[in-house]
A and B are shown apart, each in its own frame.
Chain A
Amino acid sequence: MLDIAIQIVGLILCASLILTLYRLLVGPKLPDRILALDTMFIHGIALILLYGIAIENAIYFEAALLIAMLGFVSTSALCKYLLRGDIIE
């Protein structure tokens, strides 16, 4: 049953990523694209954890944690850039 659930969630995540990609490409403004990128990071975490469940290996936890941290930092850096035109003040 878990195998079927993993496949279903995998499909859902792919569909979801396509919708996010649509927003990333269409825009229309920069904050929309940043928001789409941020959502993509979260989907990346979900996919890695799903892969970890599927291959019965817990080692991918560190990768997911790193992606979560990098995602937040990059989102705030991009927003800072839009707000001030400068990242490091």
Chain B
Amino acid sequence: MKQSSFRMFPMPFHSMLLFVIWLLLNNSLSAGHLLLATILAIIIPWAVSSMTTERPRIKKPMLAISYVFLVLKDIISANFSVALLVVGPLKKLSPGFVAVPLDIETELGITLLASTVSLTPGTVSAEISADQKWLYVHALHLENPEELIEEVKSRYEAPLKEIFGC
């Protein structure tokens, strides 16, 4: 258990995140705020560390960063394609539901995959089966279901699997 072994930073990543967010919220780098951010970054993880559940670790940080940029690029291209579909003629749109089989097993991985699918071209994740093996996706303009499943699996799921090493 965590209580038995005393640690200065039980959650180093969260401490860093708290530190940065406190400075961003106050939008300043003055000594007082730096001190306060340090205190908060130490105290809050102490208070909450016993409540956390085990999380998968990021095995490949470089790949994670390139994944973030891939998603950001796709968000922008998604917006242009969706904007064209929305403003264009609606009769041509053929929406559809697709079930994507999932290979990722961790909850964080599935959450990230579902969020990515929602933010990227023409797809919104609608539901996950209770055994966490299927992701139901609604597509705004579905031409070929197999192609869409293949794209989701190779473009987003494969890097996520590699990042979390599962």
Q: Enumerate chain A interface residues (CB-CB to B < 8 A).
A: 58, 61, 65
Residues B6-49 near A (CB distance < 8 A):
25, 27
Complex Cα distance, B123 from A27, in Å, reads 23
Q: Which residues of B contact A65 (CB under 8 A)?
A: 25
Residues of B within 8 Å of A, CB-based: how many? 2
Q: Which residues of B contact A61 (CB under 8 A)?
A: 27
Across the two chains, which residue of chain B brings its CB closest to A65?
Answer: B25
**3 A-B pairs whose Cβ atoms sit less than 8 Å apart in the complex:** A58-B27, A61-B27, A65-B25
Complex Cα distance, B24 from A61, in Å, reads 11
Q: Which residues of A contact B25 (CB under 8 A)?
A: 65
Complex Cα distance, B25 from A58, in Å, reads 12
Residues B112-143 near A (CB distance < 8 A):
none
Kindly provide the distance from the CB of B111 to the nearest chain A CB, expressed in whole angstroms.
14
Q: B100-113 interface mask toward A, CB cutoff 8 Å, 1 = contact, 0 = none?
A: 00000000000000
Across the two chains, which residue of chain B brings its CB closest to A62?
Answer: B25
Complex Cα distance, B127 from A68, in Å, reads 24
Complex Cα distance, B25 from A61, in Å, reads 9
Across the two chains, which residue of chain A brings its CB closest to B25?
Answer: A65
Q: Which residues of A contact B27 (CB under 8 A)?
A: 58, 61
Complex Cα distance, B27 from A65, in Å, reads 13
Complex Cα distance, B28 from A58, in Å, reads 13
Q: Which 3 A-B pairs have the closest CB atoms?
A: A61-B27, A58-B27, A65-B25
Complex Cα distance, B25 from A65, in Å, reads 9
Complex Cα distance, B27 from A61, in Å, reads 10
Q: Which residues of B contact A58 (CB under 8 A)?
A: 27
Complex Cα distance, B27 from A78, in Å, reads 33
Kindly provide the distance from the CB of A62 to the nearest chain B CB, expressed in whole angstroms.
8
Kindly provide the distance from the CB of A42 to the nearest chain B CB, expressed in whole angstroms.
14
Kindly provide the distance from the CB of B125 to the nearest chain A CB, expressed in whole angstroms.
14
Kindly provide the distance from the CB of B118 to the nearest chain A CB, expressed in whole angstroms.
13
